[in-house]
Amino acid sequence: MILGLGEHALNELTDKEKDSIDFFVWTGCAMHKGLNAVKGGLARMSQTWEELDSTPPPALHDKCEAEKPGSNEENTPNSKVDSARWAVKLTSLAGAMFHHRDDKKGQQDVYKHYFEASITKN
């Protein structure tokens, strides 16, 4: 019965209205597109630092790696440029801080409580 009502209502629409209802664009997961953009930017920036013969920004090592004597970007286990530098590392750190998969870690509750207190109506 409901399908019949829906079909009847759809048939009453103009062709332009039907087209706007039927139009659907599948883009996939935007997260991976954003990650690819960050990685692509990182690759290009790495190439630019080499072309300019300049020193790139320092790697953001994990606390346990940074405390080891003589640790630097060349001898750490995760010394690959794309895993320890710039936007990729910053994005990873922000994700761990603001939306950690473990609810007992990170700062997501601080922001949740703030917005609940400041936005919700009492």
Residue-range definition of the domain harbouring residue 77: 57-119
Q: Is residue 22 part of a domain?
A: no
Residue 28: its pLDDT value, please? 60
The pTM for the full model equals 0.38
3-state helix, strand, coil in the chain (%, to 5): 60, 0, 40
Residues 42-100: tens digit of each pLDDT: 888 888 989 999 888 777 766 766 666 665 545 444 444 444 566 777 777 777 777 76
Q: Is residue 34 part of a domain?
A: no
DSSP letter string, 45-64: HHHHHHHTT-PPPPP---HH
User: Whole-angstrom Cα distance, residue 54 to residue 51?
Assistant: 8
Q: How many domains does the chain have?
A: 1
Q: In the chain, what is the straight-line distance between the N-terminal and C-terminal CA atoms, in Å?
A: 42
